[in-house]
Amino acid sequence: MIKAAFFDTKPYDRIYFDELKKNFGVEIEYFESKLNPRTAIMSKGAKAVVAFVNDDVGKETVSVLESIGVRMIALRCAGYNNVDLAAADGVIPVVRVPAYSPNAVAEHTLALLLTLVRKTHKAYIRTRDFNFSLNGFVGFDLYGKTLGVVGTGKIGMAFIEICRGLGMKIIASDPNPTQKGIEYVSNEELFSRADVISLHCPLTSSTYHLINNYSLNLMKDKVYILNTSRGALIDTEALIDGIKSGKVGGAGLDVYEEESEFFYEDYSESILKDDVLSRLIMMPNVLVTSHQAFLTHEALRRIAEITLGNIRGYFDGGKLENAVSYKRK
């Protein structure tokens, strides 16, 4: 049996891992704590460490893991911006789950958009108080509107196909514009033409704060912005300014650039100390969900299968089919 230490786990994480772990010959020890330089020592005795999106897999963490004999880092997510790949290069291999359920994320993105546009979340609250007034609920048709998608990987394409079914016009930007039947444009043209902008690109040095004061100024008035990728794609202060000025008509956010301290935790009995997040949540045309776009039964099962397969494949024969490699300049 291969022993693996899982960090930042919740009950829903464990369902499919517990169901499938024997099939892959993996023994799992779960930790609710996030992985960081202080908690990394808890994985002593494990051959693999399994991390999630808000774990700190930086240089210090990698050093501690190496010192206690951990031989692989398996991310149970697609993104890896929280990993210091330079520190791990040649020390501990890093693998990920590149595509677990593009439809899960794409469908959640649509849910955010439709909820904002048709105000169904507010209607739910109002009718529970037996208030059946329609005042303030006027929305708009998505049919015929222009959708701008940044990133045409599997998730971006899944969202495009959904929105094509709604009769939306599609434009997209991507540094690798390989998808057929897509009108590719520059980011600047996309920002200026789109009625709805949806972000489906990874967080890199070139996409950090892709949505900022400059790009917001290029956009149409009352533009809708959706982000189910990574929080730091958006300069949150600039977004708030855009909402206050009326430039942004609505924002659907499943991610937030400072989410690691808050998302996946219950602060309902506490005073939220992040004033920026508090302001976002209080705005009537902003919908925030806590990084839940991936959260379907199908996606959780696929994540478990791929993660356990990554671990088994490496320790059986050194296979790293889903390795994340450090790119030297």
Q: Which DSSP string do the residues of 199-248 spell out, in sequence order?
A: E-----TTTTT-BSHHHHHHSPTTEEEEE-S-GGGB-HHHHHHHHHHTSE
The hierarchical CATH code for the domain 2-100+296-317 is: 3.40.50.720
Average pLDDT over residues 257-278: 90
Note whether 185 and 171 are within 8 A (CB): yes
Higher-pLDDT residue of 187 and 54 is 187
Tens of pLDDT, residues 164-201: 999 999 999 999 999 999 999 999 999 999 999 999 99
The pLDDT value given to residue 328: 54
Residue 187, Ramachandran bin (φ over 0: left; ψ between -120 and 50: alpha; else beta): alpha
* pTM reported for the whole predicted model: 0.91
Average pLDDT, the chain: 95
Distance CA 76, CA 53 (A): 8
Average pLDDT over residues 236-244: 97
The pLDDT value given to residue 100: 86
Confidence of residue 265 (pLDDT cuts 50, 70, 90): confident
Note whether 301 and 16 are within 8 A (CB): yes
Domain ranges across the chain: 2-100+296-317, 102-288
> Out of 96, 108, 291, 302, which one is annotated catalytic?
291
What are 306's strand-pairing partners? none
Verify whether residue 298 is a known catalytic residue. no
> Out of 76, 108, 200, 230, which one is annotated catalytic?
230
Verify whether residue 259 is a known catalytic residue. yes
Confidence of residue 99 (pLDDT cuts 50, 70, 90): confident
The pLDDT value given to residue 329: 46
Output the six-digit token pair for 57: 């897999």
The hierarchical CATH code for the domain 102-288 is: 3.40.50.720
> Out of 76, 96, 259, 302, which one is annotated catalytic?
259
